[in-house]
Structure 1
Amino acid sequence: MASISRRRTTFALAAILFFYESCVAEIPPNYSFMHEATEAPKISFYDYIIIGGGTAGIPLATTLSANYNVLLLERGGSPYGNPNITNVNNFGSYFADTSPTSPSQQFISEGVVNSRARVLGGGTSINAGFYSRGESKFNEEARLTDANLVDESYKWTERAIVYRPVVQKWQSALRAALVEAGVEPDNGFSYDHIVGTKVGGTLFDANGTRHSAADLLQYANPKLLSVLLHATVHKILFKTEGVSGPLAYGVVFADSLGRKCIAYLKGGKKDEIILSAGALGSPQLLMLSGIGPKEQLDALKIRVVLPQPLVGKGMADNPLNTIFVPSPIAVEASIIQVVGITRYGSYIEESSGTNFIRANLSSYQGFSPQMGGFIFEKISGPLSKGELKIKNLDPTDNPLVTFNYFKEPIDLQKCVIAVQTILRAVESKAFSNYKYANMTIKDILDLNVKLQLNMRTHANTSSSLEQYCKDTVRTMWHYHGGCRIGEVVDNEYKVLGVGTLRVIDGSTILNSPGTNPQASVLMLGRYMGVTILGQRIAYDNSK
């Protein structure tokens, strides 16, 4: 009965928070609580310190600020006022920007060029915007037991930043082609994860303007939240003497000029530091702070706070394989709106005519960017796993990451079946207006092998679909792992063996949820924010 009462209390709290938040005015151009880290005091104190203003960190900070003093530290800048981020037609332009101020920090794994968000809003500020809830399996793996709170946490995001896209001719043709190719039924428009073909949500509104997780800060309590930009956390501070286990009590961070500051927890029994720096940032910061594989820490002379060999393990990235299909007629500019959710564990999506397409075709002079589009697939899971290691003490540098793309044969087989499905869709009657009649499937595959999409070396012709998958593998930017639940954190996302420290973000995920993880990670941040807030209020009221 006590557990039922707690669930009712948590759901009631979520309802009260929604009532308060629904009264908040339209998002202002500048948040009063958001400042450059150069304005931060040298020493400050908070109930909660959240590291990472991304997909999970923002919902967490926004929710906890309803009753408690929260500091949110973001290593990047603001997404607002940057048309490369906010305008749909400029999607992807930042991936080639290697400057230290770019919202996208490039790294390479096994010859595949990847990107790590470095901006308020995290991945939601630089991704393709497609929004689709994860399958129910994710809720089980993530230990989210309150189905009502899961649903309400999804809806909290959807009310604020998710839109129904306007599907035009090219995307409509592909939608019909996928159904004709066997990805059925046609499920229409839905946020839910349903086998078949559907139209999903998008973070871009009818004007083509992006609405990232940063927009959720409109729901924050401005009196209790502080957001610092260009605040790079160097390490978490731990008390180890006189306690049963390491106890996190503060963080050291630097501003854009290199000046270091310290933010401390106030010292309340329920005060916490929450690490939400993403699949690369969270395991990296744990290691830099002395929690991780002992041999790595010793090699860099980092004081070992807690030897934890599983930090950085289980890293995964869902491999992406694309097929550019030249078209005899012009196609409209669009990014992901339609998805085919197959029964065999692959997801088929699309993009056409944007500046990102133009950049991807820069090495091939045969076709105009407006004369075709990319159809691509992502495999579920994946089963193939890799590892993250730190190479130095610099938190601004990327760690070394291997994902071991297609190491597991099942992953490769899923790719082959998905490519076969795409090729059936390309040859379907529904898609016939957008394919040259005299262009064979081998012509299309050979064309795609020649496109310079990554740094992997291979032959310039397609020999088999297995080899095609290996030669043309790219990233879906859906990397996860490194602080996996049940291995590094417990069922409440508390770091095992450590007090007052949690990790809540994509690094805890066992398998990427559904077609795109952002919906589930946004939900996770809100869900855990409401859960922690409810527990804290109950504790404070019991004293």
Structure 2
Amino acid sequence: MVLGFWRFLGAAFAATLLLHGSCSSDEAIPTRTYSFMRNATLAPLVSYYDYIVIGGGTAGCPLAATLSQNASVLLLERGGSPYGNPNITDLEAFGAPLSDLSLSSPSQRFISEDGVINARARVLGGASCLNAGFYSRAAPEYVRDVGWNRKLVNESYAWVERLVAFEPKIQQWQSAVRDGLLEIGVVPNNGFTYDHISGTKVGGTIFDQLGRRHTAADLLEYANPKGVTVLLYASVHKILFKRKGTPRPVAHGVVFRDSTGAKHRAYLSQGPKNEIIVSAGALGSPQLLMLSGLGPKAHLQAHNISLVVDQPMVGQGMSDNPMNAVFVPSPIPVEVSLIQVVGITHFGSFIEAASGENFGGGSPTKDYGMFSPKIGQLATVPPKQRTPEALAKAIEDMNGLDKAAFQGGFILEKIMGPVSTGHLELRSRDPNDNPSVTFNYFQEPEDLRRCVEGISTIERVVDSKAFANFKYDAMSFESLLNLTVSSPVNLLPRHRNTTTSVEQFCRDSVMTIWHYHGGCQVGMVVDSEYRVLGVDALRVIDGSTFNHSPGTNPQATVMMLGRYMGVKILSERLTSEES
């Protein structure tokens, strides 16, 4: 009887394991409208603004809303509106946009050269429309090391939180994970807090008490409607530079196309402080700089791109925090939950959890789980073997399972930092194509050490008294990792005729938690005020400037940064006008 159950679970979880999401289209019935938001097909062929913000994502929306208070702002978003699409707004539909591979999807799938399947947003609100919703600030040490003004940082976080952050309702399974972390010494108990504090805490969420998602697009409620124009389905192809009669190139306009392919130009109006600001994300921002002539000379020449500035560091320093997860089947039903509890360890790994049948991928109607092959998460084979055929086979196996097989939840660990870095290169001159990106997961031994210790921490949580009700007594942790020959519950890859080490488990089962960053880093591509080195009137403000991912989950800090830099830029503008 026990053996049959183990075999059943083994077959079940061959089909399950992990990713995060995106937003909507014009066809959805809107639940919110902004008077200043319109389709780019309605835009004039030529227009003028004080600021042009490229990318209406997690940083771009709060940035544009802030700048609009004292200037004219154009916000260009290549995707559509998040409003009116239940697959974006409803917690229980998490993952559905990520599984949508159509050209109109709010999520654009990409596969790194490492073989890990990932996603980038193309929707107003950016990745805040697609993610698992966890809201947590950066550590005070992070703020200090970056050189931000702590008072303005805290004010900017509070500005964001008034509209989009909430305290989650913690139920039994998440409580068991929390209490297990405390029992094994991930202390103190910090309760509910947005702050990043060592120990165990309940973090915030952008899902309200009704399970409705609130995104960075909601921060446009703060905007001055007379000061901002938001254009949807506006794909920016190039930043334009003035090069004659100036000491160095000056950004002065952009070329973008609407959904029909019609070309539009937007220029900066006359003014010494007017700027173009790129907020297109960790893939989009370095990609657009290269397409506009800022990047490694030889690489741009190979793509027949006219060089504006030889900037070899554009596209360098790309990182994606590796995530490894363990599914724990439960003898009793568990609630549906996304990330709510986190253990912030002393050794550089964060322990988080998600639960519920639809997040395992097996609900007959909502089978787009956080760890489902339908959204590209497939840890049952090593990264390079995650082919379309392997995904299709995993989905087929998953669809044939009884939903009872998915009763349980995942406990995961995410590496802080990480230390390992890679690079990004162009594949083509089409801004809608994915660039080539390599993250080099676990290239640095420190990252692998943190993963191993993180997995050990998960083991101790699973074996804790606090978690006992959600674990089968006869189930060893080694079997959950498939490190033994028998009872392969997760059916993770095991090398022929050998026992897999935890190190090999980390390499083989690595997935993304969608916290990739880099490509336009401070000190390499931009200065401490996010001005692009070597040119004037151009900044990059988004996660591409990060050297490390802030906190346990970066979205709070990316939204904060948009507000923070908007306030600073307006202050500079006011000082200039008064002098």
Give how far 1:272 is off.
Answer: 0.1
Instruction: Map 1:168-247 to 2 at 5 A.
Output: 168-247=171-250
The structure 2 residue matched to 1:471, chosen from 498, 508, 530, is 508
- Aligned in 2, Cα 1:405/1:459: closer, same or farther, shift over 3 Å? farther
Give how far 1:537 is off.
Answer: 1.3
Partner residue in 2 for 1:439: 475
User: Is 2:491 the counterpart of 1:450?
Assistant: yes
Give how far 1:368 is off.
Answer: 3.0
Partner residue in 2 for 1:374: 410
Give how far 1:463 is off.
Answer: 1.1
Give yes or no for contact 2:336–2:359 (8 Å, CA) kept in 1: no
For 1:54 and 1:368, the matched residues in 2 are separated by 38
User: Is 2:177 the counterpart of 1:140?
Assistant: no
Residue type of the alignment partner of 1:499: D
Give yes or no for contact 1:175–1:198 (8 Å, CA) kept in 2: yes
User: Is 2:443 the counterpart of 1:397?
Assistant: no
User: Is 2:253 the counterpart of 1:253?
Assistant: no
Q: Over the residues paired in the alignment, what is the CA RMSD in angstroms?
A: 1.7
Instruction: Map 1:112-511 to 2 at 5 A.
Output: 112-144=116-148, 146-353=149-356, 355-358=358-361, 359=368, 360=371, 362=395, 363=397, 365=401, 368=404, 370-446=406-482, 447=488, 449-450=490-491, 463-511=500-548
- Aligned in 2, Cα 1:323/1:166: closer, same or farther, shift over 3 Å? same
Give how far 1:267 is off.
Answer: 2.1
Give yes or no for contact 1:315–1:482 (8 Å, CA) kept in 2: yes
Please give the TM-score of this superposition, normalised by the length of structure 1.
0.92
Give yes or no for contact 1:449–1:472 (8 Å, CA) kept in 2: no
For 2:263 and 2:489, the matched residues in 1 are separated by 48
Deviations 1:308-366 (A, max 9, x none): 00000000000000001000111010101100000000101111115342144554548
- Aligned in 2, Cα 1:448/1:126: closer, same or farther, shift over 3 Å? farther
Deviations 1:11-62 (A, max 9, x none): xxxxxxxxxxxxxxxx982100000111111000000000000111111100
Partner SS, residue 195 of structure 2: coil
For 1:341 and 1:70, the matched residues in 2 are separated by 39
For 1:388 and 1:483, the matched residues in 2 are separated by 10
Partner residue in 1 for 2:60: 57
Gaps of 5+ in 1: 1-26
For 2:87 and 2:549, the matched residues in 1 are separated by 27
Please give the TM-score of this superposition, normalised by the length of structure 2.
0.86
Give how far 1:186 is off.
Answer: 1.2
Partner residue in 2 for 1:23: none
Partner residue in 2 for 1:78: 81
Give how far 1:140 is off.
Answer: 3.2
* Aligned residues with identical type, % of pairs: 60
Partner residue in 2 for 1:526: 563
Partner SS, residue 466 of structure 2: coil
Give yes or no for contact 1:290–1:302 (8 Å, CA) kept in 2: yes
Deviations 1:246-271 (A, max 9, x none): 10000000111111100000021110
- Aligned in 2, Cα 1:154/1:458: closer, same or farther, shift over 3 Å? farther
After TM superposition, the structure 1 stretch with the greater mean CA deviation from structure 2, 530-539 or 201-210, is 530-539
Give yes or no for contact 2:329–2:406 (8 Å, CA) kept in 1: no
Deviations 1:193-228 (A, max 9, x none): 011110000000000000000000001000010000
Give how far 1:460 is off.
Answer: 11
Partner SS, residue 469 of structure 1: helix
Partner SS, residue 450 of structure 1: coil
Aligned residues: 511
Give yes or no for contact 1:35–1:229 (8 Å, CA) kept in 2: yes
For 1:136 and 1:347, the matched residues in 2 are separated by 17
Partner residue in 2 for 1:19: none
Give how far 1:181 is off.
Answer: 1.9
Residue type of the alignment partner of 2:124: L
Gaps of 5+ in 2: 1-29, 362-367, 373-394, 483-487
Residue type of the alignment partner of 2:504: Q
Partner SS, residue 103 of structure 2: coil
Partner residue in 2 for 1:31: 34
